[in-house]
């Protein structure tokens, strides 16, 4: 067995881990956290349960798309959706990226299913998130190259790094020091207050990246950790994504992270080794991005506007001959009621059972509606291939 080098770094190196109660900026951050909590709760309560469930499925693809985009991997949600159906590109590189996207979605789905048995910042949770993500990756994506030697180093799922890393100007702690820094990180965010738990999602995001516990995948793990923290503290239901906002402000995001790596700027910059003012600025940026994303999704999902966009799409598809006549009637009923029983379609259309089955099948095949079985009610779906028409701006056109 090889001994992993530990340079004996003190955990004080990445303090402060939280914005101090005495900071003059704390009240502003508390107000942002409260505003985020209020807006997130109002948005979730405005959606019928069936609509929220369908939307959460699409948001996983969107979250995955933007999180991977930050890493320089561009796999469009339509291609991600194809991968979830087992339809992979014949191009090996594109196929690998589809598998990477599918892995990310599987991990988020596991988080959404309350898979985490400990708090998201615990070492066990972080290792499990990394393991589940990396185990599903193709072999070609499980290596990193040492820029100095050209050596290819294997990334072991769920294992902490055993070698040194440098990220930009930041030289991460020695590999042997990682476990005690992760223990301190978890201890620092064991807070019961709701405001503190929201602020912690931002602070922990940077501090985990500062530790850089894994050879690769740290960015995805950090964003999934913050997603899980916000899901717990805000009960988001997975209906909006911080990743979209971070990707759309990538330069500022990375600039803030780099600033948080810097040491304290004099006696008025907190009491830890790292700059508290930089952590404050990042936390404000993070929370503002979250609020912006909740507002964006709330605007997209306003019932009247959403119904209008979907009905315009249905009318155009009927005129083009890709949907049978009366499809819009069924779709409109689902939009107003939330769900529609199969037996109700015949009565609604005033046509034969055969016609009702044909309309229903066409709407399901188009991706507009879905049903868990041939007897289950019809509910609205949000397929990535229709998002550009129904929910403009959610992600770029294919």
Q: CATH 1.10.3290.10 in the chain, residues?
A: 32-300
**pLDDT for res 49:** 85
Mean pLDDT value of segment 22-37: 96
> What angle, rounded to 10 degrees, do the helices at 49-70 and 218-234 form?
150
What is the number of other CB atoms lying within 10 angstroms of the CB of residue 278?
22
- Residue 232 contacts residue 197 (beta carbons within 8 Å): yes
Q: CATH 1.10.10.10 in the chain, residues?
A: 303-390
How far apart (Å, rounded) are the C-alpha atoms in residues 5 and 180?
13
How far apart (Å, rounded) are the C-alpha atoms in residues 88 and 81?
10
How far apart (Å, rounded) are the C-alpha atoms in residues 38 and 242?
16
CATH 1.10.12.10 fits 32-300, yes or no: no
CA distances to 102, 183, 215, 217 from 156, rounded to whole Å, are 19, 21, 8, 11
- pLDDT 10s digits, 47-88: 988 889 899 999 999 999 999 999 999 998 899 999 999 999
Residue 103 token pair: 């892995």
**pLDDT for res 397:** 67
CATH 3.10.580.10 fits 303-390, yes or no: no
What residues contact 12, with CB distance under 8 A and at least 6 apart?
A: 272, 273
What residues contact 118, with CB distance under 8 A and at least 6 apart?
A: 124, 125
**pLDDT for res 1:** 54
**pLDDT for res 398:** 58
Residue 382 token pair: 């949000």
- pLDDT 10s digits, 364-396: 999 999 998 988 999 999 999 999 899 988 887
Does residue 148 have a pLDDT over 80?
Answer: no
Express as a percent the part of the chain with pLDDT over 70: 99
- pLDDT 10s digits, 276-334: 999 999 999 999 999 999 999 999 999 889 999 999 999 999 999 999 999 999 999 99
- pLDDT 10s digits, 204-248: 999 999 999 999 999 999 999 999 999 999 999 999 989 999 999
Residue 373 token pair: 């079985």
> Closest by alpha carbon to 299, among 43, 38, 36?
43
Average pLDDT, rounded, for the chain? 93
Q: Is 203 helix (H, G, I), strand (E, B) or coil?
A: helix
pTM for the full predicted model: 0.93
- Residue 205 contacts residue 34 (beta carbons within 8 Å): no
**pLDDT for res 2:** 65
CA distances to 5, 18, 108, 340 from 336, rounded to whole Å, are 62, 45, 30, 10
Phi, psi dihedrals of residue 144, rounded to the nearest 5°: -125, 150
């Amino acid at each position: 067995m090889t001994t992993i080098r530990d340079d004996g770094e003190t955990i004080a190196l990445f303090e402060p881990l939280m914005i101090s109660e005495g900071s003059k900026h704390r009240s502003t951050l508390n107000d942002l956290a409260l505003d985020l909590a209020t807006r997130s709760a109002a948005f979730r309560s405005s959606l019928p349960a069936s609509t929220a469930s369908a939307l959460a499925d699409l948001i996983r693809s969107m979250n995955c798309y933007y999180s991977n985009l930050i890493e320089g991997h561009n796999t469009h949600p339509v291609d991600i959706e194809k991968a979830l159906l087992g339809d992979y590109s014949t191009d090996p590189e594109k196929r690998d990226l589809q598998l990477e996207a599918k892995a990310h979605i599987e991990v988020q789905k596991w988080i959404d299913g309350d898979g985490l048995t400990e708090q998201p910042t615990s070492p066990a949770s972080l290792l499990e998130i990394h393991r589940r993500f990396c185990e599903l990756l193709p072999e070609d994506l499980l290596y990193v190259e040492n820029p100095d030697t050209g050596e290819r180093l294997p990334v072991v799922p769920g294992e902490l790094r055993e070698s040194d890393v440098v990220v930009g100007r930041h030289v991460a702690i020695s590999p042997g020091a990682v476990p005690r820094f992760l223990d301190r990180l978890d201890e620092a965010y064991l807070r019961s207050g709701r405001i503190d738990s929201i602020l912690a999602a931002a602070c922990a995001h940077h501090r985990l990246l500062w530790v850089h516990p894994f050879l690769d995948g740290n960015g995805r793990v950090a964003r999934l950790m913050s997603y899980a923290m916000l899901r717990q503290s805000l009960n988001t239901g997975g209906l909006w994504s911080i990743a979209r906002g971070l990707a759309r402000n990538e330069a500022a995001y990375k600039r803030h992270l780099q600033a948080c790596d810097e040491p304290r700027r004099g006696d008025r910059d907190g009491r830890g080794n790292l700059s508290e003012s930089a952590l404050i600025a990042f936390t404000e940026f993070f929370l503002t991005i979250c609020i912006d994303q909740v507002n964006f999704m709330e605007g997209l999902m306003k019932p009247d506007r959403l119904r209008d966009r979907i009905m315009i799409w249905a009318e155009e598809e009927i005129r083009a001959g890709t949907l049978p006549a009366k499809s819009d009637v069924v779709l409109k009923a689902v939009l107003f009621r939330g769900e529609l029983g199969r037996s109700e379609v015949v009565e609604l259309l005033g046509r034969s059972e055969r016609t009702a089955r044909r309309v229903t099948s066409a709407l399901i095949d188009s991706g507009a509606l879905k049903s868990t079985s041939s007897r289950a009610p019809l509910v609205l779906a949000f397929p990535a291939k229709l998002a550009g028409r129904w929910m403009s701006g959610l992600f770029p056109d294919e």
